[in-house]
Amino acid sequence: MATAFVFPGQGSQAVGMGKALADEFAVARAVFDEVDDALGERLSTLMWEGPADALTLTENTQPALLAVSLATLRVLETEAGVDLARDATFVAGHSLGEYSALAAARSLTIADTARLVRVRGRAMQKAVPVGVGAMAALIGLDFEQAAAVAADAAQGQVCQAANDNGGGQVVVSGDKAAVERAVEIAKSRGSKRAMLLPVSAPFHCSLMQPAADAMKDALAVATVKPPLVPVVANVLALPITDPAEIVRRLVEQVTGTVRWRESIAHMASQGVTTFYELGAGKVLSGLVKRIAAGAIGVAIGNPADVTAFKAAQGA
């Protein structure tokens, strides 16, 4: 029975996330301290005390989610004897989560990853003025249908299928007027629900090219090692291990589609039956069972989850 470890992206954040882990486990506290030191500020205080509107700023959300995911992994390693190289067939992460996956697999250090995602968050926020772009979820359409809606809605502007999340959930991204047109077109084509999302920028579309350029520069000077476990890349939905390719795909990911449905399906086709979601929220665990028949998703993000994991492993 093969397993994969997956890592959440933006949208899973909440004030207080990770605090129970830090309170109970010294190794978790050490991860939060390491991220704080790398950024030169007490991000952990913002995570645990808020305010929520500051935490949801992309430049804060991204390193915060990274910290919780890696703290969770460190706890599993020390408390339950998890050895990623031995216990995981693949790692993968949704958008920002791909950086968490790479850090988990020791391709990047925690400190370097924290600094990279801070650059990424700021560059993504800066790439498009607030109010110019938008994203919308189209529920009940498959990827091809949603991509066709986006193409018809563009009308000379940008509108792209940004996230293929699976379970009939596709997110489109681009110029605000074009995305609003996509919502109306989707409703006329059988979408069960189509709605604008409360996001601060239009991620994963060509409007993010300035952010892709910034990440190309930042990654060019980062030390990237072969991961201990193959990383299933968002833009390929296939596993990669070569550091040069990892860098190239991370740059492409900023403007490219997050092919999450295909990523989970590929891992399942290679025998993965259990997907452990490490960090904040349970979004990815919920998607697993809708994408891969018979597969299960298990979310681990607090001490009770760790206890349950240990009991299931007989640890």
Active site positions, annotated? 95, 204
Residue 13: other Cβ atoms inside 10 A: 21
Contact between 161 and 147 under an 8 Å Cβ cutoff? The reply is yes
Burial (CB count <10 Å: 0-12, 13-18, 19+), residue 15: middle
Half-sphere exposure of 40 (CA within 13 A, CB side): 2
Report the first-to-last Cα separation within the chain, whole angstroms. Answer: 18
Distance, in Å, from the CA atom of 247 to the CA atom of 59, rounded to the nearest integer, reads 20
Q: What DSSP character marks residue 223? A: -
Q: Beta-carbon neighbour count of residue 282 at 10 Å?
A: 17
